[in-house]
């Protein structure tokens, strides 16, 4: 039994260290922030949440008739999101247990991100390289300098790819 616990702790340590190099800790978006975000999502849109946590942002977009994909690297929020998607029988939501930096952003109309500022330059380059013209990038709390800012809406920064 000790080996199992040691294995779990070791695995978590690896993920923790990895996340300090690639993204933020798990802090969920607030309901007010999600409500604001939904103003920018239309029925039929394809939405991505990079580092989707428990999937709350994606489940809300699904209520608006959008489809969505999330990437999450931490096992517990990932499992929670997958179970939620199964219980809701929601085929419009796909959650990947994978590194968000491997996501191909070319097919998304709206990309949501809530990661610390220090990842912004790398993230901006990824958006500029992969995303289609007219697509939106919405960053919670931490700005993404280098993208075209359409609007600051509360704690959200709304960018348009040009
Ligand atoms: C601030 S939380 C935001 C969660 C969710 N997007 C929300 O708004 O409620 C950031 C999430 O990104 C995840 N994360 C950090 N680095 C990641 C990476 N390289 N790949 C996938 N997920 C990552 C963390 O585990 C965490 O759940």
The H or E element that residue 71 is part of is: strand 67-72
Residue 150 confidence (pLDDT): 97
For the four alpha carbons of 74, 77, 78 and 79, in that order, the dihedral sign comes to: positive
What's the confidence (pLDDT) of residue 23? 67
CA distance 75 to 30: 21
CATH number at residue 41: 3.40.50.150
Number of domains within the chain: 1
pLDDT of residue 117: 84
The per-residue pLDDT for 88 is: 78
How high is the pLDDT of residue 153?
A: 98
The whole-number pLDDT of residue 20 equals: 65
pLDDT confidence of residue 21: 64
Which domain, by its residues, includes 79?
Answer: 2-160
pLDDT means per 10 residues, the chain with 162 residues, are 78 70 80 97 97 96 94 92 85 92 97 91 97 98 97 98 96
Nearest protein Cα to ligand 1, atom 26: 26
Tokens found for residue 158: 């709304």
Mutate to test the pocket of ligand 1, among 23, 119, 140 (most ligand atoms within 8 A of CB): 23
Instruction: Supply the pLDDT for residue 87.
Output: 85
Protein residue whose Cα sits closest to atom 9 of ligand 1: 28
Which pLDDT belongs to residue 17? 67
């Amino acid at each position: 039994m000790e080996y199992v616990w040691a294995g779990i702790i070791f695995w978590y340590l690896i993920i923790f260290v990895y996340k300090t190099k690639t993204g933020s800790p798990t802090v969920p978006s607030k309901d007010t922030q999600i409500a604001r975000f939904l103003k920018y999502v239309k029925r039929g849109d394809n939405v991505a949440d990079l580092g989707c946590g428990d999937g709350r942002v994606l489940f809300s977009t699904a209520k608006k008739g959008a489809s969505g994909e999330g990437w999450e690297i931490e096992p517990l929020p990932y499992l929670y999101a997958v179970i939620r998607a199964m219980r809701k029988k929601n085929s419009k939501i796909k959650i990947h247990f994978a590194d968000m930096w491997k996501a191909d952003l070319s097919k998304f109309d709206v990309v949501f991100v809530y990661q610390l500022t220090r990842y912004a330059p790398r993230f901006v380059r990824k958006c500029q390289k992969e995303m289609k013209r007219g697509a939106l990038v919405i960053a919670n709390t931490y700005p993404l300098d280098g993208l075209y800012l359409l609007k600051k809406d509360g704690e959200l920064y709304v960018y348009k790819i040009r």
